[in-house]
């Protein structure tokens, strides 16, 4: 329980950090259940993810036979004589089977295309990644083609298609035979390719008839030119309307009407519109020639320039007719002037309609041009297929005309095409499930180990830094603010008695009183409650016990005993022979309190080692045990004085305290010559306390009625759960003694 320090220290020396299991246990202690739960959940999730991330693989197999020689038909040739390097012939056929040409043809087969959505095979490289072609030294005649995939039907389709593609491209060439099956297949392919080509050609013809030209691109350019012409005319008409409206507002005399332009005339005269559209088309063609690198002196450029000049002359002549009035153009009066502003607005609306129609025609022509280009490309591809099949048929016809081989005389033959596998060839789901189980399950463990390894706070009483301190190592539980757990409260009282008893055993050889300083690395570690509990324990054992409150700032001990306004303790320290007059007796026999005075926090500067030494000498003569409550050793002046002059220092460390603060506190006590006689780990978990008391012959259980009576009898000062337990026990003992005396 509170003082298994011998086991802790010996265990630390015995195991240290050399035993990995001990180290892991220390790092995970207190978090073991959480770690195991998280590890189990994560491991299960990781196993499921690993299992379902993989799928079983199925392998299909095909076999091709290459005969060293075939039966002689009529003449000696390469087919019916064994080659000198047969292994080289087999290796070359293996290379053919793995070639991109064979794989591309296999990819385009109907079998693979039907399963493309399932297989995900869209390139020869994807087929090559799962294809294995090999030969056997013991059976050099055979070549084995294997393909592995998650779908057994895909595996079979690929093997079958690869073998068919190989036989189509290289098998018959090697056999020098005109296999009827191959010829029929080629003729069927030729017929289909021609049908496809003719169908595309018909679509091209329909599109040509619809638009009246195969060069739809030229029509698109003309449509664009027409749109630009209409847009220019629209701008011109808008300007003229603006000028007329301005003229109407000002009504100024002498202003001339706007001059008639070619664009305006084209907006009103159909013949002029045709001439202008023709000129724009010719100018666009000349621009295309110049972009293509044609010079001004090029013959075609000269021809286009001449045509442009001719059109310009026709435009000028037509303009002259319009201006002179010889040409009857609606909307124009004498000398080409507009009849009225209303006529111009009418012309603008009419032109807007023609512009919208021209844009729609441009859009339709653009779509038709894209479709025409696509059809031309498809037609060329179909034409290439027809040529390729015709070439192959010509080769077979030529080869067949050389010799007429009988059935069974082929050098290269297919023994077995791809078969549908019934069982997986490999299944990595269990392996990945195990990997996911171990990998995911180790994450919480590693995280918790890292938290424990890099944590800066003390969580358990056997922490290494506590073991490194000197003297007794004690432990007190975390009781909260109540004594609801009677068994744990009794255990805590027993822990205080045991710490007290060991201090008495260690210092029993001295004739005068003993002075112990009770301090901590920082505030809120529970030292005040501990010193009260220790005082009750010492008094219970028969020692004249004094509790000295030298925490001049906190004054927690004085307040707990109801002495918040006591006389100045610092003044009493200056006259040690009269300090005993400030001592206050408590309700418990043998226990007295020397409280700190109100306002003593402003008198700390008057303290000195000499004054503290004289004070302690006086108190040693009057009391067997003096317990001094000081401020934290790292944040008070009086704690350093007491550490140097007291017989020992009791260092209280609360659970969760930072290791660097504990180390600094120990170093500071040692630095001023103090001696740590006990290190008390406060607020330990109930589980840890019960584990440490598991082997002791102490029976803490009580009957329910007795526990209720004792809890009701506890009416002493509110000094904390641990001290409260001792108060109750001490009050009961005092009451019994008084009864006997009466």
- Tens digit of pLDDT for each residue in 524-549? 777 888 888 889 989 988 889 999 98
- State yes or no: pLDDT of 247 exceeds 80: no
Instruction: Tell me the pLDDT tens digit for each residue of 171-223.
Output: 754 444 455 677 778 888 888 888 988 999 898 888 888 888 778 888 888 88
Give the range with max mean pLDDT: 124-138, 325-339, 465-479.
124-138
- CA–CA gap between residue 488 and residue 82 (Å, rounded): 98
Over 80: is that where the pLDDT of 397 sits?
Answer: no
Pairing state between β 131-135 and 591-594 = unpaired
Strand 625-629 and strand 545-549: the pairing is parallel
3-state secondary structure of 696: coil
Q: What is the pLDDT of residue 600?
A: 78
Question: Average pLDDT, stretch 555-578?
Answer: 83
pLDDT value at residue 258: 58
Q: How confident is the model at residue 339 (pLDDT cuts 50, 70, 90)?
A: low
Mean pLDDT score across all residues of the chain = 77
Residue 1 has pLDDT above 70, yes or no: no
Beta carbons of 57 and 51 less than 8 angstroms apart: no
Interior CA angle at 184 toward 98 and 383, to 5°? Answer: 75
> Which H/E stretch holds residue 343?
helix 341-400
Is residue 329's pLDDT more than 80? no
Distance CA 596, CA 574 (A): 14
* CA 1 – CA 304 distance, rounded (Å): 112
Architecture of domain 464-741: 3-Layer(aba) Sandwich (3.40)
For residues 662 and 482, the model is more confident at 662
**Are 596 and 558 spatial neighbours (Cβ–Cβ below 8 Å)?**
yes
Residue 124 has pLDDT above 70, yes or no: yes
Q: Residue 307 pLDDT > 80, yes or no?
A: yes
Return the pLDDT at 691: 57
Q: Is 728 left (phi over 0), alpha (psi -120 to 50) or beta?
A: alpha
List the chain domain ranges: 211-385, 464-741
The sign one gets for the Cα dihedral 484, 489, 490, 491 is positive
Q: In the predicted model, is pLDDT for residue 588 greater than 90?
A: no
Q: What is the pLDDT of residue 75?
A: 36
> What's 16-79 look like in SS3?
CCCCHHHHHHHHHCCCHHHHHHHHHHHHHHHHHHHHHCCCCEEEEEEEEEECCCCCCCCCCCCC
Whether the Cβ atoms of residue 381 and residue 171 lie closer than 8 Å to each other: no
pLDDT interval class at 285 (50, 70, 90): confident
3-class state of residue 518 by DSSP = strand
Contacts of range 368-372, beta carbons closer than 8 Å, 24 or more positions apart: 368/207, 368/210, 368/211, 368/216, 369/216, 369/217, 369/219, 369/220, 371/207, 372/204, 372/207, 372/214, 372/216
State the pLDDT confidence band at 8, using cuts at 50, 70 and 90: very low
Distance between CA atoms of residues 490 and 693, nearest Å: 12
Phi then psi for 294, rounded to 5 degrees? -70, 140
More confidently predicted of 451 and 8: 451
- pTM for this model (two decimals): 0.45
Q: What is the pLDDT of residues 405-429, one digit of tens each?
A: 444 456 788 888 888 888 888 888 8
Residue 401: phi and psi, rounded to 5, are -75, -15
Quick one: three-class SS letters along 545-556?
A: EEEEECCCCCCH
Beta bridge partners, 119, equal: none
- Please state, for a pLDDT cut of 70, what percent of the chain lies above it: 74
CB atoms within 10 A of CB 111: 17
pLDDT per residue as tens digits for the range 487-505 = 666 777 787 888 888 888 8
């Amino acid at each position: 329980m509170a003082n298994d320090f011998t086991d802790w220290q010996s265990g630390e020396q015995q195991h240290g950090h050399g035993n990995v299991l001990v180290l892991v246990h220390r790092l995970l202690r207190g978090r073991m259940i959480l770690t195991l739960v998280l590890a189990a959940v994560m491991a299960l999730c990781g196993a499921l993810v690993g299992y379902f991330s993989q799928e079983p693989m199925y392998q299909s197999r095909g076999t091709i036979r290459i005969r060293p020689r075939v039966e002689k038909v009529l003449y000696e040739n390469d087919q019916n004589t064994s080659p000198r390097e047969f292994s080289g012939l087999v290796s070359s056929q293996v290379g053919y089977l793995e070639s991109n040409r064979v794989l591309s043809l296999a990819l385009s087969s109907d079998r693979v295309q039907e399963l493309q959505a399932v297989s995900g095979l869209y390139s020869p490289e994807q087929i090559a990644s799962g294809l294995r072609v090999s030969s056997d030294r013991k059976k050099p005649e055979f070549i084995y083609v294997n393909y592995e995939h998650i779908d057994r039907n895909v595996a079979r389709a690929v093997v079958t298609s690869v073998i068919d593609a190989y036989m189509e491209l290289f098998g018959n060439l090697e056999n020098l035979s005109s296999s009827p099956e191959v010829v029929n297949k080629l003729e069927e392919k030729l017929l289909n390719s021609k049908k496809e080509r003719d169908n595309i050609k018909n679509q091209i013809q329909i599109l040509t008839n619809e638009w009246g030209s195969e060069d739809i691109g030229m029509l698109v350019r003309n449509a664009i030119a027409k749109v630009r012409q209409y847009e220019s005319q629209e701008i011109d008409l808008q300007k003229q309307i603006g000028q007329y409206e301005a003229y109407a507002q000002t009504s100024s005399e002498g202003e001339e009407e706007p001059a008639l332009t070619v664009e305006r005339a084209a907006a009103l005269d159909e013949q002029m519109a045709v001439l202008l559209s023709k000129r724009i088309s010719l100018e666009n063609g000349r621009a295309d020639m110049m972009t293509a690198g044609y010079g001004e002196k090029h013959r075609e450029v000269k021809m286009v320039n001449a045509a442009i000049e001719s059109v310009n002359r026709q435009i000028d002549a037509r303009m002259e007719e319009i201006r002179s009035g010889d040409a009857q153009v609606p909307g124009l009066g004498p000398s080409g002037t507009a009849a009225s502003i209303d006529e111009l607005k009418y012309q603008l609306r009419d032109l807007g309609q023609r512009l919208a129609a021209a844009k729609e025609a441009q859009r339709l022509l653009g779509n038709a041009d894209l479709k025409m280009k696509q059809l031309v490309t498809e037609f060329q591809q179909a034409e290439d297929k027809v040529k390729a099949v015709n070439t192959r048929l010509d080769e077979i016809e030529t080869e067949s005309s050389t010799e007429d081989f009988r059935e069974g005389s082929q050098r290269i033959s297919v023994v077995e095409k791809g078969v549908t596998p019934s069982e997986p060839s490999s299944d990595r789901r269990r392996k990945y499930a195990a990997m996911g189980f171990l990998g995911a399950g180790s994450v919480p463990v590693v995280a918790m180990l890292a938290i424990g390894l890099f944590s800066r706070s003390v969580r358990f009483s056997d922490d290494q830094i506590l073991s490194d301190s000197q003297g007794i190592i004690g432990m007190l539980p975390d009781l909260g603010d109540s004594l609801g757990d009677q068994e744990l409260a009794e255990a805590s009282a027993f822990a205080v008695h045991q710490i007290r008893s060991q201090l008495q055993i260690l210092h029993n050889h001295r004739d005068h009183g003993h002075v112990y300083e009770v301090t901590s690395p920082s505030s809120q570690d529970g030292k005040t409650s501990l010193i009260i509990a220790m005082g009750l324990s010492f008094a219970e054992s028969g020692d004249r016990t004094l509790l000295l409150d030298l925490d001049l700032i906190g004054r927690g001990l004085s307040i707990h005993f109801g002495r918040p306004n006591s006389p100045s303790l610092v003044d009493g320290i200056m006259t040690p022979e009269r300090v005993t007059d400030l001592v206050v007796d408590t309700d418990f026999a043998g226990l007295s309190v020397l409280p700190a005075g109100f306002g003593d926090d402003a008198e700390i500067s008057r303290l000195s080692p000499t004054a503290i030494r004289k004070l302690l000498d006086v108190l040693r003569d009057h009391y067997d045990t003096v317990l001094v409550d000081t401020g934290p050793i790292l944040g008070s002046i009086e704690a350093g004085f007491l550490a140097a002059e007291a017989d020992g220092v009791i260092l209280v460390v609360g659970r969760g305290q930072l290791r660097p603060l504990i180390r600094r506190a120990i170093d500071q006590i040692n630095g001023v010559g103090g001696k740590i006689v006990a290190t008390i780990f406060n607020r330990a978990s109930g589980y840890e306390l019960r584990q440490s008391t598991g082997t002791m012959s102490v029976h803490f259980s009580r009957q329910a009625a007795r526990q209720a009576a004792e809890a009701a009898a506890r009416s002493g000062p509110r000094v904390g759960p641990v001290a409260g337990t001792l108060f109750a026990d001490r009050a009961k003992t005092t009451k019994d003694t008084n009864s006997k005396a009466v």
